[in-house]
Structure 1
Amino acid sequence: MFLIIGKNDVPLYEANLGTVRKEIGHLNQFIIHAALDIVDEEAANSPNMYLKTVDKFNEIYVSAYVTAGNIRLMLVHDSRNEDGIRNFFIEVHENLIKALMNPMFDLIRGFSQPFDTRVKNAAKRFLI
C-alpha cells in the first residue's frame, strides 16, 4: 500500500500496489497512521528526504520520503529492497511535482488517472 499524505495529515492519494504478500486488509492504514509521528520526528532530525524504513509491525515495514513541502510519501511493504524503494519514491516525487505544477490540477478532485498509472508503473519497475 502506498499513501501520499499532505499537511495536517490529510491523505491525498492512496494505491494498493501489492507490496505486502499476505492480506492484512484494514491494518495497512492503521500501520501508516501509527508511523506518521515517527516520520515527523525523523524528518526533523534528518537532512535526507528518503528516510528509509521508519517503522515495523510484525514482518511489515513502513518506508517514508518527505518532500520539501512536507508532503509525506509512505509505503507499506514486506520485503527489504532499499534501492528499489528509494528509486520508486524519487520517481513518484517527480510525478507529484509535475501534477501539482499543472495549472489544471484540482486538489479536491484528486490526482488524475495518468498519475495513478505512472505510480503503478513505477511500482512494477522498482518494487515488484
Structure 2
Amino acid sequence: MATTACFIIVSRNNIPIYEAEVGSAVKREDSAQLHQFILHASLDIVQDLAWTTSAMFLKAVDRFNDLVVSVYVTAGHIL
C-alpha cells in the first residue's frame, strides 16, 4: 500500500514556514491545494486545543476523508 505524509511547520501568525511531502504514493495534481485547505481548516481547532492542554503532542485533531491531522505544538506556539 502506497502512503504519503505532508509535514508542515506553521508560524504563530498561521503562515506556513516549511512544507514537505514524503512517501511513496503517486502525487496528485491538486495535492498541494488540498493540504493547504486541510491545514487552514484545522488551525482553528488546533489553536483552541493548544490553550486548553499542556501537552505538546495533540494527536489526531481533525480528519478529512482518509487524511488525519496530527499536531505538535512548541512552547512558542509554532505548530
Q: Which residue of 1 aligns with 2:10?
A: 5
Length-normalised TM-score, structure 2: 0.81
Change (3 A) 1:22 1:9: same
Counterpart amino acid of 1:58?
A: N
Shift of 1:3: 0.5
Counterpart amino acid of 1:14?
A: E
Q: Pairwise mapping of residues 1-128 of structure 1 onto structure 2 (< 5 A)?
A: 1-18=6-23, 23=28, 25=31, 26-72=33-79
Give unmatched runs, 5+ long, in structure 1.
Answer: 73-128
Report how many aligned residue pairs link the two structures: 72
Larger helix percent: 1
Length-normalised TM-score, structure 1: 0.51
Give unmatched runs, 5+ long, in structure 2.
Answer: 1-5
Equivalent pairs: percent with the same residue?
49
Which portions of structure 1, spanning 4 or more consecutive aligned residues, are displaced by more than 3 angstroms? Answer: 19-24
Radius of gyration: which is bigger? 1
Larger strand percent: 2
Root-mean-square deviation (CA, aligned residues, Å) is: 1.9
